[in-house]
Amino acid sequence: MSEFQEHKMLVRRFHERLDAARGAQIGESLAAFITPNHLWRGCHPFGELHGADALSSTFWEPLKSALTRLQRREDIFFAGRNQIDGFESVWVVSMGHLMGLFDQPWLGILPTGKMAFLRYCAFYRVDGDRITETAMHFDIPHLMTQAGQNPFPPQTAAHLVQPGPMTHDGLLYGPQPEAEGRRTLDAINAMISDLGQWKLGLPLEEELARSWHDDMIWWGPAGIGATYTIERYAKQHSGPFRAGFGQRSRTTHIARLAEGHYGGFFGWPNFTAIPTGGFMGLPGSDTPGQFRVIDIYRRAGDKLAENWVFIDLLHFWKMQGRDFLAEATGAADAY
pLDDT score for 199: 64
Q: Which domain CATH number covers 107? A: 3.10.450.50
The C-alpha atoms of residue 314 and residue 324 are separated, in whole angstroms, by 6
Shared-domain flag, residues 48 and 121: yes
Q: Which residue type, as a one-letter code, is found at position 27?
A: G
Residues facing 42 on adjacent strands:
47, 136
Same domain, 14 and 142: yes
What does the pLDDT read at residue 335?
35
- Return d(Cα 60, Cα 65) in angstroms, integer: 8
Classify residue 185: in a domain, yes or no: yes
The H helix count followed by the E strand count for the chain is 11, 15
Q: Is residue 243 part of a domain?
A: yes
Q: Report the DSSP beta bridge partners of residue 264.
A: 257, 296
Beta-bridge partners for 258: 263
pLDDT of 194 reads 80
Domain membership flag for residue 158: no
In a domain, 140, yes or no: yes
Running DSSP on this structure, what letter comes out for residue 238?
Answer: I
What pLDDT does residue 181 have?
A: 98
Residue 31 has a pLDDT of: 98
pTM: 0.95
Question: Which of the listed residues 146, 163, 195 is the one where a domain comes to its end?
Answer: 146
Residue 298 lies inside a defined structural domain of this protein = yes
Q: For 176-188, write each residue's pLDDT tens digit.
A: 999 999 999 999 9
The last residue of one of the domains, among 146, 166, 187, is: 146
In a domain, 166, yes or no: no
State residue 334's pLDDT score: 41
Shared domain check, 83 and 216: no
In a domain, 165, yes or no: no
Please report the pLDDT score of residue 196 as a whole number. 57
Residues 141 and 187 in one domain: no
Structural domain boundaries enclosing 202: 178-334
Q: What is the pLDDT of residue 159?
A: 78
What was the pLDDT predicted at 202? 85
A 10 A CB-CB count for 148 gives 11
Q: Write down which residue in 146, 170, 186 finishes a domain.
A: 146
Same domain, 184 and 323: yes
Name the H helices within the chain: 5-20, 24-31, 51-55, 61-66, 140-146, 178-195, 204-211, 230-233, 239-244, 313-319, 324-334
> What is the maximal distance between C-alpha atoms in the chain?
58
Interatomic CA distance for residues 72 and 243, integer angstroms: 38
Range list of β-strands (E), 82-156: 90-102, 115-127, 130-138
Count up the domains in the chain and report the number. 2
Domain-located, residue 289: yes
Closest to 322 (Cα-Cα) out of 289, 274, 298: 289
Question: b/e for 69-102, b at 16 or more Cβ within 10 A?
Answer: ebeeebbbbbbbbbbbeeeebbbbbbbbbbbbbb
- Nearest Cα residue to 159 out of 324, 313, 289, 297: 313
Q: Residue 332: its pLDDT value, please?
A: 45
Is 215 in contact with 233 (CB distance < 8 Å)?
A: no
Q: So what's the pLDDT on residue 164?
A: 96
Rounded Cα distance, 223 and 313, in Å:
8
Per-block mean pLDDT, blocks of 10 residues, the chain (335 long): 88 98 96 98 98 98 98 98 98 98 97 97 98 98 94 84 96 97 97 72 90 97 96 95 88 97 98 94 94 98 98 97 90 44
Give me the pLDDT at residue 158, please: 82
d(CA 267, CA 269): 5
